[in-house]
Amino acid sequence: MSTFKKHIQQMGAYKPPLDGRDPDKHMLLDFNERTLPVSEAVCSALVDYIQAGRLQMYPAYGDVVDRIAEYANVPASQLMITNGSDQGIDLIFRAACTEGDEAIIPGPTFAMYMQCAKVENLKIHSPSYTSDRGFPLTEVLSLINEKTRIITIANPNNPSGTLVSREDIITIAKAASHAVILVDECYFEYSALTVVDLVGQYPNLLVTRTFSKTWGIPSLRLGYIISAQENILSLLNVRGPYDINQLAIVAIRAALENLDGIQSYVDEVMNESKPLLEQFLKSSGVEFWPSGGNFVWAFFDKPAEVQKTLFEQGILVRPKEDTDNRVGLRITLGSKKQTQYLLEVLGSCRGLGA
């Protein structure tokens, strides 16, 4: 018999379908990752660090918080680093919520929020995103009560790509001033929409970000939280002193030296690849949700057939259900060349549009 808490034994694990992904065999358009390798400078910094014989030492972060704060344009006192944004999300739930509290998690969305809410045994409300109205603002506002402890806003949302305006986030932060408003800006570089400048004004606002997506180091696990200084100090009481591994720090120091390289990848994805895919979908009569991220959620007439053909031609995409159990394929965008190949294969698929 397990000695763990009953509600935890009854939970399901968060198990993304990672098996068999191989960048030598597949074009990986299934996890919203950067589809091109990181720069030479980042690789050499990592190799140099390993060859310098330092792996036996515990991590030491130096001034990396200052460097990231400079990039994010916030005071360093408002920022802490985390082991991926998953850890940031987990820390915020753990530090803010107590069993019996209520969470508002509009869905479908990134699975981690539900997992954290379930671990804390919260009462979960999950109003639905819709393709025409986007974020369910009215429903969220009507669900707020004195037990509401946390409201999650993925901006843009995964898988729908939906953006939430700064005005709507402020409305929620004011309406639930007793609750944490967790704004997940994991795809910030693509959306260029942020509320980090508001954290001094709204002490209940917590923003999570990551170096996993645009920056291409999900394998090394580095994210950060931006919030009012008193929140950061509290969360630092919960995070372990060595939770972020040293190689992530080495990589990001090198990557921050080449912001132009990051921006040119973002520009190619957002200004070239994404319009190409959207144009193709429109002309093929395939419905898709407006997206602020490096991915598009497309509702093909026969999604399983389309996914199979893509797979046979070496392209991985991710099926995701909407709240009416309709399956859409979430397709990550990469370089223009990769997108042209994607469109060539999509063009040969049966069961695209109605």
Ligand X SMILES: Cc1ncc(COP(=O)(O)O)c(C=O)c1O
- Which run of H or of E encompasses 89? helix 84-96
CA-based diameter of the chain, in Å? 60
Instruction: Tell me which of 210, 231, 294, 339 binds ligand X, using CB under 6 A.
Output: 210
Distance in Å, CB of 184 to ligand X, minimum: 5
Instruction: Tell me which of 90, 101, 184, 322 binds ligand X, using CB under 6 A.
Output: 184
Per-residue contact string for residues 63-102; x = within reach of ligand X by CB under 6 A = ---------------------xxx----------------
Judged by beta carbon, residue 102 or residue 184, the one nearer ligand X is 184
Instruction: Tell me which of 110, 135, 188, 288 binds ligand X, using CB under 6 A.
Output: 110
Judged by beta carbon, residue 117 or residue 352, the one nearer ligand X is 117
Cα dihedral 54, 56, 60, 61, rounded to 10, equals 70
Amino acid at 45: A
Instruction: Tell me which of 154, 199, 255, 331 binds ligand X, using CB under 6 A.
Output: 154
Judged by beta carbon, residue 208 or residue 231, the one nearer ligand X is 208
When asked if residue 185 is in the footprint of ligand X (CB under 6 A), the reply is: no
Distance in Å, CB of 328 to ligand X, minimum: 15
CB of 152 closer than 8 Å to CB of 103: yes
Distance in Å, CB of 141 to ligand X, minimum: 22
When asked if residue 223 is in the footprint of ligand X (CB under 6 A), the reply is: yes
Return the structure tokens found at 70: 């400079």
Cβ within 8 Å of residue 260, ≥6 positions away: none
Instruction: Tell me which of 32, 162, 227, 338 binds ligand X, using CB under 6 A.
Output: 32
Judged by beta carbon, residue 108 or residue 223, the one nearer ligand X is 223
Enumerate long-range contacts of 35-39, CB under 8 Å, 24 or more apart: 35/332, 35/333, 35/334, 35/335, 35/338, 36/216, 36/265, 36/334, 36/335, 37/216, 38/215, 38/216, 38/217, 38/251, 38/255, 39/254, 39/255, 39/258, 39/261
Distance in Å, CB of 56 to ligand X, minimum: 27
* Core vs surface per residue 287-326: b (16+ CB within 10 A) or e: bbbebbbbbbbbbbbebeebbebbeebebbbbebebeeee
Judged by beta carbon, residue 158 or residue 338, the one nearer ligand X is 158
Task: Return d(Cα 11, Cα 128) in angstroms, integer.
Answer: 22
Distance in Å, CB of 28 to ligand X, minimum: 13
Number of residues that bind ligand X (CB under 6 A): 13
End-to-end CA distance of the chain: 52
Judged by beta carbon, residue 65 or residue 345, the one nearer ligand X is 65
CB of 71 closer than 8 Å to CB of 210: no
Judged by beta carbon, residue 155 or residue 349, the one nearer ligand X is 155
Distance in Å, CB of 157 to ligand X, minimum: 7
